[in-house]
Amino acid sequence: MDMRNKNFRQDNGTAYLLLAPIFILLTIFVVIPFVYALRVSFYDWSFYQDSVFVGFRNFRLVLTDDLFLESVWVGLKFALMVMPAMLVLSFLFANVIKRLGPRFSGFVKTSVYIPTIISGIVASVIFVFIFDYTGGLANYLIGLFGAEPKAWLADVATALPSVAAPAIWLGFGLTTLIMLAGLHDIPESYYEAADLEGAGTWTKMVHITIPLMRNVILYLLVTGFTAQISQFELSLVMTNGGPLSVTTTPNLYILNHFRNDVMVGNSIAASLLLFVVLGSISAIIFRILNSEKAVDG
């Protein structure tokens, strides 16, 4: 008994020691700033004069600002354009890579990963050139079919999809590799058994591949959705939020207010509200697609 207690204590000490770095780092970089931000959001915060307590005023201003609500809607639309396209494309592509020979698949894997290491800013600049009105690749291509040049980034209808294109291109590589890892994780024996039963490709995909990929897809959905709604550098560089405000994502809205406002409380309140929005969306996704422990043994 004594012995066990002593061991307990020793283990606890080591455990606390090992936990300490992350606990301290999280406290310094997450907990304290978060609590501080919460506090500041109730003030008219100025660096030069005494901050004035204003209660929920900052939150009320943000919530009654049509532009903020619009920007959340823009963020949702943006994520809804990017995520399905990216998931479907990378799922198909991962299946193709899985069937390739080892050498060629290594080459393809490296190639699809390249966009991931390109920064969003560089990608946006490249796509700004592609969507250029007079000399861009996009208008050159549609010109080959005799179409008039399109104002890709200035037309209310095409601006958001045009900004979504580089987002898909950027995220595609990593998503494909994660999908590929998920595919490799499914035991071959399941497919062999299905083959013996005479199942076709489609049946195998619907009944084996997709159910067993559930957790991978769930992970990609939650992280991807959050990341895409938070996206702002693409629209900052490519359209500056325009035309009108159709590409002003929530984070761009916050950045604009941060740069613009004399008092900082407003942008902090907006950030906290965005945090709530993102949290709720993640919760909804988890709710709809329950994560389950994989049933393979």
Partner 1 sequence: MLQQAKRSKRGTWTIASSSLLILSMVLTACGGSNGKNADPSPSGGSAPASPSASASASPSDSTPAEKVKIEFWAQKFEDTTDAWFKKWVAEFNKSQDRVEIKLTIVPGDAWDQKMKAAQAAGKAPEIRTINYGNVANAAKTGQIMALNDLMDPAAFDDLYDNIRDFVTVGDKYYAYPKLVEPSAVLYYRKDLFQEAGLDPEKPPTTWAELLDDAKKLTKKGVFGLATAQTAPDLGWSSWGMQYNAAGHLALTDDWSKADINNDAYKSVFEFYQNAYQSGAMPKQALAGYADIKPFGEGKVAMEVCGSWAIGQLRNTYKNMLDKVGVAPMVSIDGDQTKTTATLGGWTLAVDGKAQHPKEAASFISYLLAGDPAIMIDFFKTAQFSKFSPRKSVDEAMKSDPDASKDAWRAMIAEKVIPYAKAEPIYPWDISFALSTGIESAMKGTSVDKAIAKAEKDINDFIEKNKLAGTNPKA
Nearer to partner 1, 139 or 228 (CB): 139
Query: Half-sphere exposure of 32 toward its Cβ, with a 13 Å CA cutoff?
Result: 7
Q: How far apart are CA 173 and CA 113, in angstroms?
A: 4
Nearer to partner 1, 216 or 246 (CB): 246
- Tracing tokens 């861009």 back to the chain, one arrives at 136
**152-211 residues near partner 1, rule: CB under 8 A:** 152-156
Taking the complex as a whole, the smallest distance from the CB of residue 87 to partner 1 amounts, in Å, to 26
Q: How many CB atoms lie within 10 A of CB 32?
A: 11
Q: How far apart are CA 235 and CA 100, in angstroms?
A: 37
The helix (run of H) or strand (run of E) holding residue 224 is helix 214-229
Does position 241 interact with partner 1 (CB under 8 A)? The reply is yes
Q: How far apart are CA 84 and CA 228, in angstroms?
A: 12
Q: How far apart are CA 293 and CA 252, in angstroms?
A: 38
Query: Identity (one letter) of the amino acid at 225?
Result: F
- Which position among 264, 268, 269, 274 is part of the footprint of partner 1 (CB under 8 A)? 264
Taking the complex as a whole, the smallest distance from the CB of residue 176 to partner 1 amounts, in Å, to 25
Over the window 127 to 156, marking each residue x when it contacts partner 1 by CB under 8 A and - when it does not, the resulting string is -x--xxxx--------------xxxxxxxx
Q: Residue 39 in contact with residue 55, Cβ under 8 Å?
A: no
Query: Identity (one letter) of the amino acid at 231?
Result: Q
Nearer to partner 1, 72 or 238 (CB): 238
**32-61 residues near partner 1, rule: CB under 8 A:** 46-49, 61
Does position 25 interact with partner 1 (CB under 8 A)? The reply is no
Q: Residue 232 in contact with residue 167, Cβ under 8 Å?
A: no
- Which position among 113, 199, 208, 233 is part of the footprint of partner 1 (CB under 8 A)? 233
Nearer to partner 1, 176 or 256 (CB): 256
The tokens describing 286, both together, are: 């988890």
Taking the complex as a whole, the smallest distance from the CB of residue 211 to partner 1 amounts, in Å, to 39
Q: Return residues touching partner 1 (CB under 8 A).
A: 29, 46-49, 61, 64-66, 119-122, 125, 128, 131-134, 149-156, 233, 236-237, 240-245, 256, 258-262, 264
